[in-house]
Chains A and B, each alone.
Chain A
Amino acid sequence: MSTLATTDEHISATRAKTIQPVWVRVMHWTNAVAMILMIMSGWQIYNASPLFDFRFSHDITLGGWLGGALLWHFAAMWLLMINGLAYLIAGFVSGRFRKKLLPITPAGVLHDVRAALTFKLSHDDLSVYNYVQRTLYAGIIVVGVLIVLSGLSIWKPVQLYYLVALFGDYPTARYVHFFCMAAICAFLVVHVALALLVPKSLRAMIIGR
Chain B
Amino acid sequence: MAKRSFLISGVDKRLLIKDSIKTMPDVIRRRFIAGGASLGALTLLTGCDVVDSSSAEALLAKVSKFNDAVQDFIFNPDALAPTFPESAITKPFPFNAYYDLDDAPDVDGDDWKLEVRGLVDNKKSWTLPELYKLPQFTQVTRHICVEGWSAIGSWTGTPLRDFLKLIGADMRAKYVWFQCADKDGYNSPLDMRTALHPQTQMTFKYANEILPRAYGFPMKIRVPTKLGFKNPKYVVSMEVTNDYKGGYWEDQGYNSFSGS
Check A179 for interface membership: any CB of B closer than 8 A.
no
- Give chain B's interface secondary structure class: loop
Interface residues on B, range: 35 or more
Instruction: Evaluate whether A59 and B47 lie within 8 angstroms (CB atoms) in the complex, with A67-B253, A68-B253 already known.
Output: yes
Task: Provide the B23-52 mask, 1 if CB < 8 A to any CB of A, else 0.
Answer: 000000000000000101111111110000
Give the size of the chain A interface in residues (CB under 8 angstroms): 29
Question: Which A residues touch B45, using CB under 8 A?
Answer: 64
Question: Which B residues touch A154, using CB under 8 A?
Answer: 148
**How many angstroms from the CA of A45 to the CA of B147 in the assembled complex?**
7
Check A108 for interface membership: any CB of B closer than 8 A.
no
Q: Which of A45, A66, A159, A174 contacts B260 (CB 8 A)?
A: A159
**How many angstroms from the CA of A70 to the CA of B61 in the assembled complex?**
11
**How many angstroms from the CA of A78 to the CA of B60 in the assembled complex?**
12
Check B173 for interface membership: any CB of A closer than 8 A.
no
Check A156 for interface membership: any CB of B closer than 8 A.
yes
Check B127 for interface membership: any CB of A closer than 8 A.
no
Q: Is the CB–CB distance between A64 and B63 below 8 Å?
A: no
**How many angstroms from the CA of A51 to the CA of B187 in the assembled complex?**
29
| In the complex, residue of chain A having the shortest beta-carbon distance to the beta carbon of B43 | A64
Question: Which A residues touch B253, using CB under 8 A?
Answer: 67-68, 70-71
Q: Is the CB–CB distance between B148 and A65 below 8 Å?
A: no
Task: Provide the A141-167 mask, 1 if CB < 8 A to any CB of B, else 0.
Answer: 000000000000011111101000000
Check B138 for interface membership: any CB of A closer than 8 A.
no
Instruction: Looking at the assembled complex, report how far the CB atom of B66 sits from the nearest CB atom of chain A, in whole angstroms.
Output: 9
Check B242 for interface membership: any CB of A closer than 8 A.
no
Task: Provide the A17-54 mask, 1 if CB < 8 A to any CB of B, else 0.
Answer: 00000000000000000000000000001101100000
Interface residues of chain B, those whose CB is within 8 Å of chain A, are 1-2, 5, 38, 40-48, 59-61, 63-64, 67, 74-76, 79-82, 142, 144-150, 224-225, 249, 252-255, 259-260
The 6 A-B residue pairs whose C-beta atoms are closest, nearest first, are A67-B253, A64-B43, A48-B147, A49-B147, A75-B63, A49-B148
Q: List 20 other contacts, CB 8 Å, given A48-B146, A159-B260, A161-B79.
A: A45-B148, A48-B147, A49-B1, A49-B2, A49-B149, A63-B44, A65-B40, A65-B43, A66-B146, A66-B147, A68-B60, A71-B63, A72-B60, A74-B63, A74-B64, A74-B255, A154-B148, A156-B260, A157-B81, A171-B150
Interface residues of chain A, those whose CB is within 8 Å of chain B, are 45-46, 48-49, 58-59, 62-68, 70-72, 74-75, 78, 154-159, 161, 170-171, 174
